[in-house]
């Protein structure tokens, strides 16, 4: 169970448990879907001590099942790794949007990579849901696109999201 999670009842998950400021790339210059996944996986490797290549291969295998581009310029690639001790995230704001084969066929400029232990079970799905809910708020998305530094992006992601 994640730190801060309740032993009984529903999981209380905060994005501050998933992502730290050092895991945010505010001006990612990747030019393809594959390069985005490689760049974010490399940063995830630096943050977790795992091999970036292993993370990349895991996320790419999931991506081959269907694009994780959810629309509105947003993608949430994800995967599970046996050696990962806890759920972690890496975020990239692309300088120039890239085709990600998204559901709405729009290019992507905001990418939240989520990796979880193979044993995460429902916690992995709850983390994906939490990220998707945060990225559904139009003002939050506008603010993320306007932010130019990791500290601002981290603050936006970890503050309490607006109601609704």
Which residues are catalytic, by number? 78
Helix (H, G, I), strand (E, B) or coil at 74: strand
Closest of 160, 83, 145 to residue 111, by C-alpha:
145
Closest of 45, 38, 110, 124 to residue 83, by C-alpha:
45
DSSP 80-131: EETT--S-EEEEEEEEEEE----TT---EEEEEEEEEEGGGTHHHHHHHHHH
Burial 44-76 (b: 16+ CB within 10 A, else e): bbebbebebebbbebbbeebeeebbbbebbbbb
């Amino acid at each position: 169970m994640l730190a801060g999670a309740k032993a009984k009842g529903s999981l209380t998950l905060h994005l501050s448990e998933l992502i730290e400021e050092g895991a945010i790339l505010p001006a990612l210059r990747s030019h393809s879907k594959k390069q985005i996944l490689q760049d974010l996986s490399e940063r995830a490797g630096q943050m977790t001590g795992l091999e970036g290549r292993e993370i990349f291969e895991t996320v790419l295998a999931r991506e081959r099942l269907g694009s994780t581009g959810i629309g509105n310029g947003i993608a949430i690639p994800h995967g599970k790794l046996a050696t990962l001790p806890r759920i972690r995230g890496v975020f990239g704001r692309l300088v120039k949007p890239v085709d990600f084969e998204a559901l709405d066929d729009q290019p992507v400029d905001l990418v939240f990579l989520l990796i979880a232990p193979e044993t995460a079970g429902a916690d992995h799905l709850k983390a994906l849901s939490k990220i998707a809910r945060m990225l559904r708020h139009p003002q939050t998305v506008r603010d993320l696109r306007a932010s130019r530094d990791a500290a601002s992006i981290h603050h936006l992601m970890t503050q309490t999201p607006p109601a609704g």
